[in-house]
Amino acid sequence: MTTRTEMRFVDHTQDLWQPLDGAEAAPSAHALLSLDQWSALRSVWPASMPLGVVVANTVDVETLADDLPRWSMVALQFPKWTDGRAYSQARLLARALALHGRSARHRRSAGRHAAAPAAQRLSTPR
């Protein structure tokens, strides 16, 4: 007999992590930024304020290694259910987090981003 595990999704209306509106928006705790927003706000973002970054599955995540210690969460985009590039990104990020002495835990989000029906998240507690 096979047991099926129910896949649980994060309800984005009750999710602590919310997208930051606009490139000029003020830093706020648990903001979810695009890489472009992060580039614009990196120098003024308080180091103690938790933030998450949305990463497209076309980004070479190895280029993000210097910023990983500043991020509390990374949201990886899955534009299609059959596109597995974000799984490879997750593996590389988990390895990088282990090098920084941080653990990785996973959760799924349905409908989190308009461009992606689901996002795999690596979330590290702060």
In the chain (126 residues long), the average pLDDT of successive 10-residue segments reads 65 81 81 92 92 92 88 86 85 73 47 33 40
Do 121 and 12 contact (CB within 8 A), yes or no? Answer: no
Residue 41 lies in a domain: yes
pTM over 0.75: no
pLDDT of residue 43: 92
- In this prediction, residue 125 carries a pLDDT of 41
Number of domains in the chain: 1
The parent domain of residue 53 ranges over: 9-123
Is residue 1 a part of any domain in this protein?
A: no
The conformation of residue 43, written as its DSSP 8-state character, comes to T
Which helix (H) or strand (E) segment holds residue 45: the answer is none
What are the CA-CA distances from residue 112 to residues 1, 13, 102, 120 (Å)?
34, 9, 25, 10
